[in-house]
Chain A
Amino acid sequence: EAGVVQSPRYKIIEKKQPVAFWCNPISGHNTLYWYRQNLGQGPELLIRYENEEAVDDSQLPKDRFSAERLKGVDSTLKIQPAELGDSAVYLCASSFAFSGWTDTQYFGPGTRLTVL
């Protein structure tokens, strides 16, 4: 079974440039998460989707970050414009949820963003 796929794996951009990350969750998983992991720290949740709906985006910096999950499968996380402090690893995870039950989260390899 294929795991969570993310691309690109690495991205280097200059500040003020836009950047986008793509995630393909495990087949059949209706819940998708985006996390950000700063160096030396654990991941922090940015946004959680159930199908197409963003059910928890309280930690997403909405002035520059946006996300979408069209058709309830793949998802894209965008930053525009990027700032130096956005340098981090961006992780996508997926799980299966039904009737209020949420199963184990499975993570992708992440995208390492460096903003110069």
Chain B
Amino acid sequence: DAKTTQPPSMDCAEGRAANLPCNHSTISGNEYVYWYRQIHSQGPQYIIHGLKNNETNEMASLIITEDRKSSTLILPHATLRDTAVYYCIVSVAGDSSYKLIFGSGTRLLVRP
């Protein structure tokens, strides 16, 4: 079973920030938080991951709470092309048994 809880759907206006929450209250000390997204008819696409510090890349920012029990993926200026299902996954990185266990994700709709 997935170790994360996400809202089933969200929407935001184009050009505004999209903030996608994720709860992972049972996360272990050596587990990372990964975010992937899946645009319709495509395979999942890696977005970002982090352990305990906030992370930023060209696609998004990841904010992890100090107790690591929840996190937020931020798309700073959402576009219509960001409409997708977003998956929050916790997994051990750097381990040869590394495995992604996907939940149902959050379906984000970006409105014009």
A and B form one complex = yes
Interface residues of A (CB under 8 A from B): 4, 40-45, 48, 50, 55-56, 91, 93, 95, 97, 100-102, 104-110
Q: Is the CB of A42 within 8 A of B103?
A: yes
- Majority DSSP secondary structure for residues of A touching B: strand
Q: Is the CB of B41 within 8 A of A42?
A: no
Q: Is the CB of A100 within 8 A of B96?
A: yes
Residue B59 at the chain A interface, CB threshold 8 Å: no
- In the bound complex, what is the Cα–Cα distance between A110 and B39 (angstroms)? 12
Chain B nearest Cβ from A112, distance in angstroms: 8
Stretch touching chain A among B10-18, B43-51, B62-70: B43-51
Show 16 residue pairs from A and B whose CB-CB distance is below 8 angstroms, ordered by the A residue: A41-B102, A42-B104, A42-B105, A43-B44, A43-B100, A43-B102, A56-B97, A56-B99, A97-B98, A100-B95, A100-B96, A101-B93, A102-B93, A102-B95, A102-B98, A107-B43
Chain B nearest Cβ from A30, distance in angstroms: 11
Q: Is the CB of A105 within 8 A of B100?
A: yes
B80 neighbours in A (Cβ, 8 Å): none
Which of A40, A45, A106, A109 lies in contact with B46, CB distance below 8 A? A106
Tell me how many residues of B have a C-beta within 8 Å of chain A. Answer: 22
A104 neighbours in B (Cβ, 8 Å): 46, 49
- In the bound complex, what is the Cα–Cα distance between A105 and B43 (angstroms)? 11
Q: Contacts A100-B95, A102-B93, A104-B46; is A109 near B105 (CB within 8 Å)? A: no
- In the bound complex, what is the Cα–Cα distance between A45 and B44 (angstroms)? 13
Q: Which 3 A-B pairs have the closest CB atoms?
A: A42-B102, A107-B43, A102-B98
Chain A nearest Cβ from B112, distance in angstroms: 25
Q: Contacts A41-B104, A42-B87, A44-B102; is A110 near B94 (CB within 8 Å)? A: no
Q: Is the CB of A93 within 8 A of B96?
A: no
A100 neighbours in B (Cβ, 8 Å): 94-96
B97 neighbours in A (Cβ, 8 Å): 56
- In the bound complex, what is the Cα–Cα distance between A4 and B87 (angstroms)? 20
